[in-house]
Structure 1
Amino acid sequence: MTCVDLFQARSEIELDSSTEHWSLKDLLELDLSSNSLTGNLSEQTEDLKVATYINLSRNAFTGTIPDAYGSMNNLMIFSLASNELQGSIPHSLGKMISLVSLDLSDNLLSGEIPTALENLQFLTYFNVSFNKLSAEISPFRNFSYSLFASNEGLCSARDSPYVDRCKKKKKKKKKSERRIIVVVIASVTFVALLITFFSVLTWTTRRRRRRATEQPSSHDIKDMERFSYQELKQATNDFSNEKLLGSGSFASVYLANFDNGNHFAVKVFNLGREHASRSFERECYMLSKLRHRNLTKVISACSNHDFKALLLEYMQSGSLEDWLYRDGSFLDVVQRIDVMIDVASALEYLHHGYVKPVIHCDLKPSNVLLDKDMVGHITDFGITKLLGEENSVVHTHTLATLGYMAPEYGNEGVVSSACDVYSYGILLMETFTRRKPTDDMFGGELSLRSWIDAMLPDSVNQVVDSALLREEEEHFTEKMRCVSSIVLGHDSISQG
């Protein structure tokens, strides 16, 4: 099967209630995201009760969310985002006691948000943006109001750029009720007044106690995730060179080994550099808002007057740049395709999956990290830009890395989603040619892009990384055809 055949097969998958995907016993993780799956969601969940991760986002599922899903008590991550689901959110989802992340965004869901979801004490991410939900969301005030955006019927008790403020319609009713209460109290006996007083006092006391015991555990979790400067210093051997993973314009990254066996990456910002503090604040904000399997995750932050650092998910396999240029490292054709698909998936989320378009602005091999399973993650959001609803471009004085910048970015400081697409095209060419855009062979009118254009389509084998394809290896013709289709298609990508 050629590369094109693989993509076609992936886009033609259909799923309905009779499929065997729902009868895979002891399945822990199910990820069918970003396909073209159609039909109603299956109600056969008996064999998925041990599952901890289910991702059915970015498909074309219709119908309603089955009540049966509430029986999956072990499920921690559940996403139905970007489908065409209708109806209300089932109250049974409040029985998914292990749920940490629930994403129902970008559907056609209506009605009120079930109050049963307030009882999910481990729920730290709840996204229902871009639906048709209604009612007040004050019970969910511990979540960012951006996760409720674009629901015309939702309102909040406090001002928010994402949700309208609830109209105070009950004031007149309260006044009339007070008058009635005054008349009633005046007509009742002193004994009845005492009974009412003590009843109200008892009810209020019980309610306060109940609220105190039902405070969401997410606060406790956040407290556990905080790290002091001394802890970071000890975990990195006083930020020694032997723990150094890499360094950039504004920061250095160290491996932190904690006594409990956890390993994280600590990004320490060089506050002596101009704009370093601004880069820290921007990256803190963006990483706390963005959530995608192909973006690095922020664990915690440590900040004081003279020290600022981020604690990030540790990527055991290093960066894409390491695998392309480090001696003894090698990625085969399939691995390089997989990484580029991961990067494209992350960009698609940044540009279209968040409330507002997010422009990374500095896409390059060193900013693509690989985890232990060789899954690609975009990192370094220090110069990221957030586009507003009223504009599709912004201007900046902070420039990205030479060789990866779109011409309008480098010449005029104009930033748009097309800039990331251009950088992705350069990254794609570099990944399969193993040639940096800043290589000494390029200069004047000759660039990585023009060099490839001059060699194609007759000399693909002279453009592609010499170690990537060998005529004696198995399926050489199919792999060459696949790589050729990628390299030949670079021009439309790099043009955005």
Structure 2
Amino acid sequence: MATISSTWRVFLLIILSLCPITLSATVVEDLKNLHPPPHFNSTILSNCLKNPSLRYCSSSPMMDFDEIFKFTIVASHLCNESKNPTCVETFPNVDLKNRPNIAPLYLSFDFFWKYCPLSIMSIDLSNNSMKGGFPTDVLYCTQIQSLDLSINAFSGDLPIQSFSPLTNLTFLNLSYNFFSEIKLSDSQFFKRFNSSSFLHSGALLDEKKFTLKAVILLVGFPILVILVVVCWVWLCFQRPDFLPRKLQRTRRFTPAILKAATAGFSNNNLVGMSDVVHIYKGILRDGTEVKIEMYWDDIPRDSYRRFVEECKVLSRLHHKNLVRVLGWCRSRKFRAIITEWTEEENVEMWLSRSGPSWNHRLKVLKGVVECMRYLQEEWPEVNYELKTNTILLSDYMEPLISRFKVGDQTSNRKKIYRFGVFLLEMIQNKKGQEEFDRSYGEFIKYITTLDPADLHKMIDHRMEVTETNFHQVKQVLSLGFMCIDQSNNERPSLATIFNIIARAYKVSLVLPSTNHRIFHGERFKGHMPVQIK
């Protein structure tokens, strides 16, 4: 102990001899402004020869004299801050409790703790609200007997293994901190102290809390698993639209999805109904607007199976002139077909309302034929209905075939015949058909007996047939009659029909529209009568 005191006395005498204001200055200013006195290095080396146990003597790979000098400055200040009775003779205590302004500063001087004076027996840094991990630097003072870090905000894990060299430590207080919980009761470290050293430190395992957590884990976890499984099953079978898109079952809708899309089948979303079918407008979770046709009929299991197979086929159809079938649904009370939403204007309404021009009518005819070719080539098992009141119009004036089904295949001859009727409906004078109570057979019989000079009676004058497009009208009319001619076994193919209409449409887009009309009054003027073959 005499050696320790004499060594410490040498340090302090060196510092006190440097400048009379040393003890009145701040430690930060002294660290910045003071420099080692002459022969400082030799004094340190001499001390190490006399007492090799000094901590700075064992520093490797070589002594850092500047760091050792800073250590002596901090030691002199800390000795006085800790109110040791005589700093020249001994330095037993580091007492910075209730000193929140300077305690973190001295704790940050890692070089001081690295060369901690062997005379220090007690370190008290309590009640300073210091944060961060455990200050492991103070554990360099392995000779200490007392360590108090209570009433701070230290957190993280306790370095239990680092306490092993502190064999003289008899008092430890880590209370009122936020250390990570650890089961200290099984460690030799805890056995050296009692629970009062760890009150509200966060490190002491609370048996009551542990029991509660164990109960929650053993009981709550299985319940949580069951709830997760139940929720997953509910999502899969009731609301698969909440699942990631890759996990969703495409084309098959659930009653819960339809109910959500229609606000609980609200009357505000009911757009049409009959005894068997209710038609709703709905909005799916992704924002897609749909039309939902709900059939309130009870069909046998085999019929339902055919219904599903038919829906699977129809939902695979993709063409710009087909209303897209998105999927189907079945519950105990109804079955439903879900299609994309389209405004309810059909070709019949369009013709009667606006009297569209010739090239607009050709565009509709061209779209219908394109769709017919697609179905014939890709899906010959799909039948469809060609009527002006069942073919809808998109916002871009594209025709949309809206009624089709699988099975009950119709021959190509009948499909060509139906298209011919549709074509004549597109061109005809509406009043002419109304005289026959919408009977296509009677009307077609009537127009086939017309004298060529009386064709003005069937052509819609609102088309404003001009000299430039009269030939097209005549050609398309001839095509229509060829399609409905029952006596002719050689009807035009869809490819031929498409070529004729596509060519007429292309020409109608480039021909000037300023030529005078050749329709005037009740007769053609300025042109030879039309000859239909």
TM-score (norm 1): 0.42
Normalized per residue, which structure has more helix? 2
TM-score (norm 2): 0.39
Please say which structure displays the higher CA radius of gyration: 2
